[in-house]
A and B are shown apart, each in its own frame.
Chain A
Amino acid sequence: MNSGLLDPVIVGFVFAPLLGTLSLLFALAWRQMRNAHSGLDMPDRLLAVVVRTMPDARREWGTAMLAELGQIHDVAARWRFALGSARVALFPPYGNGLLQPATASPQPFCGMLAVTLPPLGLPFIYVAAVLIEAIGGSPFTPASRWSHPDLVVAIVKLIILLTWGCLVAGLPLGIAGWCRRERWRGLSVLGMFSSLGIVGYFLLVMSFVAGGGPNGD
């Protein structure tokens, strides 16, 4: 492969939004855990944060698990109990009509997608480009090894379309999450800004590249 796709600058450009979003999410989660539960240790904080996501019909069980965690003193046992309980809190068993309608207590599905999809757009097209290049070379050049370059070009166009879909998806998904009054509505807002920011970042870098760099040559 000699197209320069593995150039660190290109890799950095592609993965910067993803790393930025992950760092931001981590920082926000960390800050929230520290502010909301200062004085508690990590297993307590972890479980307390996860319990807040439980549907109202199951919240009592989350409180019960938190109270039990308070009775465990061994550090390893606390972690084991907190992790097991966190799993239950994230995926509580449903049944007997306790599954709530989506409008009553919506989980942040749209918000999660709004935050996740935009930063995955560029890595997605990058990985696709690397694979296409590695398998049969660029379909746009005469040196291509593809037997049906037209078909590959069509696939590339579809990938470009999907990439743009990912990049701008944060906006409609974020609006949907906000309108559904999902839990953690900040995710919806973050998703909207993330989409706008990443599209802006992409267009800025592309215009910079098209202009030939800082000297315009």
Chain B
Amino acid sequence: MQRNRPPSEQSTTVLRVLAEDPTVWRHGYDLCQQTGLKAGSMYPILIRLADRGLLETKWETEIPAGRPPRHLYRLTEAGIELANELGEKEALEVKAKCVRLRPRMEGA
């Protein structure tokens, strides 16, 4: 049975990076560099996202000679929706924090 737990902080980071331009196909190592995550953390996240239908994968078709094709990733519609939801939630949380901090700052 699939559990619908909220995504971890690292998964959220990956979703956010992938949602920056959801039409672009990304490489695994580039995602590692962009998110600062190690391969040991990145690939389980990508695998789970793909299992849940949030990530689309394909192999490169135009391959330069002398190297194997690379795996490419981008968000599906469901993945984009989830990334947007998480973005909105994050924005609301930041706004709430600002509201909580304002009286203190004004009082200071």
Chain A residues proximal to chain B, CB less than 8 Å: 58, 60-61, 63-68, 70-72, 80-81, 83-85, 87-88, 92-93, 95-96, 98
A68 close to B38 (CB less than 8 A): no
- Give chain B residues whose Cβ lies under 8 Å from the Cβ of A96: 2, 51-52
Judge whether A87 and B70 touch: CB under 8 Å. Answer: no
- If the complex has contacts A71-B27, A93-B48, A96-B51, are A65 and B43 also in contact, measured as CB distance less than 8 A? yes
Are A98 and B29 neighbours in the complex by a CB distance under 8 Å?
Answer: no
Q: Are A64 and B40 in contact (CB under 8 A)?
A: no
Chain B: residues with CB nearer than 8 A to chain A? 2, 27-29, 32, 38-44, 46-48, 51-52, 67-71
Q: Is the interface of B mostly helix, strand, loop or mixed?
A: helix
* Main SS class of interface, A: helix
Q: Which of B41, B47, B48, B67 contacts A70 (CB 8 A)?
A: B67
Q: Count contacts between A and B, CB distance < 8 Å.
A: 69
Could you tell me if A71 and B43 are in contact, using CB atoms closer than 8 angstroms?
no
Provided the pairs A61-B43, A65-B28, A68-B70 are in contact, do residues A80 and B38 lie with their beta carbons within 8 angstroms?
yes
A68 lies within 8 A of B27 (CB):
yes
Contacts of B32 in A (CB 8 A): 81
Q: If the complex has contacts A67-B70, A68-B27, A71-B27, are A95 and B51 also in contact, measured as CB distance less than 8 A?
A: yes
Report A40 CB to chain B, min CB distance, Å. Answer: 12
When distances are taken between beta carbons in the complex, the residues of chain A under 8 Å from B27 are: 68, 71
When the two chains form their complex, are residues B51 and A71 in contact, meaning their CB atoms are under 8 A apart? no
Between A and B, 19 residue pairs with Cβ closer than 8 Å are: A60-B71, A61-B43, A63-B71, A65-B39, A66-B68, A68-B39, A68-B70, A72-B29, A80-B38, A81-B29, A83-B40, A84-B39, A85-B43, A88-B39, A88-B43, A92-B44, A95-B2, A95-B48, A96-B2
